[in-house]
Amino acid sequence: PGRMTLTEFCASRDIDVKVAQERLEAKGIKPAPGRTLRDIAVDNGYERPYEVLDIIEGKAK
């Protein structure tokens, strides 16, 4: 999933991109739909894309 863009990941999980962006922004992450999840994670201080995936999917605390 780290190589998928935010848009691609959301489509694969049936998550609205706007909802995903809102969840990320609520955690202080600046998402860009065309960037890969890995890039979004690294650019925002996360070591692994999976941490960002949890936020997108609404699993993060």
Give pTM, 2 decimals: 0.88
**pLDDT score of 54:** 95
User: Do 35 and 5 touch, CB atoms closer than 8 A?
Assistant: yes
- DSSP-derived letter for residue 4 is S
What pLDDT digit, counting tens, does each position of 7-47 carry?
999 999 999 999 999 999 999 998 888 999 999 999 999 98
**pLDDT score of 36:** 94
Long-range contacts of 14-20 (CB under 8 A, 24+ apart): 15/56, 15/57, 20/56
